Amino acid sequence: MNSVGEACTELKREYDQCFNRWFAEKFLKGDSAGDPCGQLFKRYQLCVQKAIKEKDIPVEGLEFMGPSKGKTENSS
């Protein structure tokens, strides 16, 4: 699947490959330490944000999941 912005598609593929490799080779084997794909994700995220602005795609009112979203302050 291509990205929302043509310029972001290659970054998306790189991130997807990195994530899938980490997931299969590390996470599923019990090693969840580290974030080997974090920098790729940030680059892709910035590219997508730029494409959304350039295409004038309305995103007001949408909630995006992030590292701290969906967690309550008192969750154990």
- How high is the pLDDT of residue 68? 53
Amino acid at 62: L
Residue 66 lies inside a defined structural domain of this protein:
no
Residue 64 lies inside a defined structural domain of this protein:
no
Residue 61 lies inside a defined structural domain of this protein:
no
- How high is the pLDDT of residue 76? 44
Average pLDDT of the chain, as a whole number: 82
Domain span at residue 25 reads 6-55
What global pTM score does this model have? 0.70
Neighbours of 12 (CB within 10 A): 19
d(CA 11, CA 48): 10
Residue 12 lies inside a defined structural domain of this protein:
yes
Residue 10 lies inside a defined structural domain of this protein:
yes
Q: In total, how many domains does the chain have? A: 1
- Which residues lie closer than 8 Å to 2 by C-beta, 6 or more apart? 9, 12
- How high is the pLDDT of residue 67? 54
| Higher local confidence (pLDDT), 74 or 37 | 37
Residue 74 lies inside a defined structural domain of this protein:
no
